[in-house]
Structure 1
Amino acid sequence: MKFKEKVVWITGASSGIGEALAYAFSQEGAFVAISARNQEALEKVRNACAYPDKVMIAPLDVANFDLVPEVAAKIIDRFGYLNILVNNAGISQRSLVRDTAFSVDQQVMNVNFMGTVAVTKAVLPTMLHQHFGQIVVISSVMGKIGTPLRSAYAASKHALHGFFECLRAEVKEEGVGICIICPGYVNTNVTINALTGDGSPNKVKAESTANGLSPNEFAHKALKAIAAEKEEALIGGKELLTIYIQRFFPRLLRWIIRRVNVT
């Protein structure tokens, strides 16, 4: 049990990928702090964990930047140290640029990018003082490519790669590792909860998402990548091929993306 007695903080842990990661880490015997906006949902997740007595509920909206340091301090005070931070909180988007209110762009960036930065900066001094720790970032295939209907979402994920590549170079020699995980399609409610142009939820599950990996399968693969201290991991199906096409044949990928249904 690689993560037994390790302290893990997971944001966005009330559903989907975050929920599955909470179960997986708990099954491994870790102490787990789970955060999200919905405390009732967090309580259900804790009760479903293998070891509920080792799970701490820490309600948090990561876009409430002023509250982040307080929540981080409570978690560290409770356990005394922190081994792994999993930055998972996020929201997606389904709308054309021309139809998207600027306030929606701001909301997506605040949750996906600035919220992740805020949480990371809240725990980084502790990890540097400890001389150990791992910061995991749940990015996306959209952190590598761009398609219609996801402009703010793709921008937020691209920003994560830029920020955490810089951070990795700064802290690698001080015992702190960075693991960026790029999921492809995972069968969660991400497309149902995605914001449309006016900020309302999309309310539609995309077929590609419904046919994706189960959250539990994703979590199993993610824990293997984290245990191996990988710097980057791609987890998904055939959709991951787009990353390699982008790398070696970018013009071809742009041509394909203009002609396929990416809803």
Structure 2
Amino acid sequence: MSFKDKVVWITGASSGIGEALTYALSKRGAKLIISSRRREALEEVKEQCEGNRSDIQIISLDLAESESLPGKTEEALAAFGHIDYLFNNGGISQRSLVMDTSMDVVRKVMEVNFFGTVALTKAILPSMIDRNSGHIIVTSSVMGKFGTRLRSSYAASKHALHGWFDCLRQEVYEHNIDVSLVCPGYIKTDVTLNALEGDGSRHGKMGKGQEKGMEPDTFTQKLLPKVLKGKEEIYIGGFELMGIYLKRFFPSLLNKVLKNSEVT
């Protein structure tokens, strides 16, 4: 199996993991639809691709505007006639204590990470069901499996994705549609720089974990073979992945570890 001539839609494609996915899949001969809020940034990403740029279409969108996503989906389907892979990669993070986080920030994080992702998936599902084929990939996080300080809304949004997409997976087996939840550990992206403070302002600081994290290109090289195999949950990262297994088998020990850990 390969991605050659497959139609792939990537959200959050203007930077980080989404940008790395765009380069890697273009090189592998996929037909791409790349999306984010920043059209100019998407144009720059397209220009840097090594593959056939005529096979790359740009559709700018804002995941916070759920009502616009059915229309964006119609545009995407019109580009190449169908979608083989949807990479739900767009999202936003948060860095603030619960007591310091406004409800507006809680709602915004949930709107982008959860409701936007759900709305886009629901919009694309009928076409995949009609073709009896498709693969939906969701970028979650290790925070989708356990929580730490300063990430309450972010972790909640990722936990919600796991619940919703686990249910969806059960509903689409009969339609030959795969659902993969991807849980990255620390990846060297701007996620903490762009995270929201409790008042909605930009955090503007690179987290220590991200600073020492895996390069997005390396992450992508590890991810794509697992996607082709149809893995249902994919964990990629460093030592921080141990938290997933501690949560599952030794939750009290994980709590003790986290209490004594520096969180940025």
TM-score scaled by length of structure 2: 0.98
User: What do the CA deviations read for 1:42-88 (whole angstroms, capped 9, x no partner)?
Assistant: 00011111221110000000111121011111111110111000000
Unmatched tracts of structure 1, length 5 or more: none
Task: Please say if 1:62 is aligned against 2:79.
Answer: no
Instruction: For structure 2, list consecutive stretches of 5 or more residues without a partner in the other structure.
Output: none
The offset of 1:240, in angstroms, is 0.3
**Which letter does structure 1 place at the counterpart of 2:10?**
I
Q: Who is 1:237 aligned against?
A: 238
**Number of the residue aligned with 1:194:** 195
Name the residue aligned to 1:20.
Answer: 20
Give the equivalent residue in structure 1 for 2:81: 80
Map 1:23-172 onto structure 2 (within 5 A).
23-50=23-50, 51-172=52-173
In 2, Cα distance between equivalents of 1:74 and 1:58: 8
Structure 2 residue matching 1:190: 3-state secondary structure? coil
- Percent of pairs identical after alignment? 52
User: 1:203-239 CA deviation, whole Å, 9 max, x = no partner?
Assistant: 1001210111100011111111111111110010110
Deviating 4+ runs (over 3 angstroms) = none
Instruction: Report the secondary structure of 1:86's partner residue.
Output: strand
Supply the distance in 2 between the matched residues of 1:62 and 1:96 (Cα, whole angstroms).
24
Counterpart residue number, 2:262: 261
Whichever residue aligns with residue 14 of structure 1, its letter is: S
RMSD: 0.8
Query: How far apart, in 1, do the equivalents of 2:252 and 2:154 lie?
Result: 22
State the SS of the aligned residue for 1:56: strand
**Equivalent AA in structure 1 for residue 183 of structure 2:** C
Q: Cα distance, 1:182 vs. partner? A: 0.3
Aligned to 1:91, the other structure's residue is in SS state coil
Q: State how far apart, in whole Å, the 2-side matches of 1:71 and 1:43 are.
A: 18
Q: Secondary structure at the match of 1:193?
A: coil
Q: CA offset at residue 166 of structure 1?
A: 0.1
SS of 2:193's equivalent in the other structure is: helix
TM-score where L is the length of structure 1 = 0.99
Task: Give the paired residue count.
Answer: 263
For 1:203-218, list aligned pairs within 5 A: 203-218=204-219
